[in-house]
Amino acid sequence: MLFKESYQKCTPITMYLQRLNNYSIKGKVPINWKGKIKYIAIGVAFLYLVAVFFSLLRSVIGSQDPNIQETTNRIVKIPLWSLVPLVIGPILEEILFRKIVLKKLIVRIGTIWSVLLSSFLFSILHLDIFLFPYFINSVIYSILYLKTNDLKVPILAHIIYNFTALTLMFI
């Protein structure tokens, strides 16, 4: 048990989530847009690091992301379809998983478990057997939301990330 507790305290994500434990969105001092842009930039940088790491891992184990090929095929056939991953998806996902699920879970089970559970649900929604990149991205979106108390921040980070991923698919 001692090892498990010390291991949990050693992982950066767990350490950060422990700082957010019992975090209250109510009564939080508002952050100005300059601060929010800083959070978006930091969040997107972490999202890119996660993407690079898992892209390398996928290439080593020979796994392909089925969402990428499916999305690419749809956009080639119907260019207007690009609005789904670029705008509609990020907005709906952030409303569902941050504004509704995360906020309701925080009241019931606390911040850490709420972030983990809502992120797990987010990753399952993407229907990829390789869930972990979606899970980590969702944790990042959750942290952005909790730190800024503004749903526009994770939405913009999500849109920027998806735009970059979509652009790279066509290069």
Structure tokens at 124: 């399952």
Of 59 and 112, which is predicted with more confidence? Answer: 112
pLDDT digit string, tens, across residues 2-52:
444 444 555 665 555 555 554 545 556 678 999 999 999 999 999 999 999
| Token duo for residue 50 | 């996660």
pLDDT of the residue at 19: 59
What is the CA angle 98-85-65, rounded to 5? Answer: 95
What value does the mean pLDDT take over residues 166-170? Answer: 85
The residue count of the chain comes to 171
The Cα 138–Cα 94 span in angstroms is: 9
Asked if residue 88 has pLDDT above 90, the reply is yes
State the pLDDT at residue 130.
79
Between CA 48 and CA 29 the distance in angstroms is: 29
Q: What percent of the chain has pLDDT over 90?
A: 60
Mean pLDDT of the residues in the chain: 86
pLDDT in tens, 115-145: 999 999 999 998 877 789 999 999 999 999 9
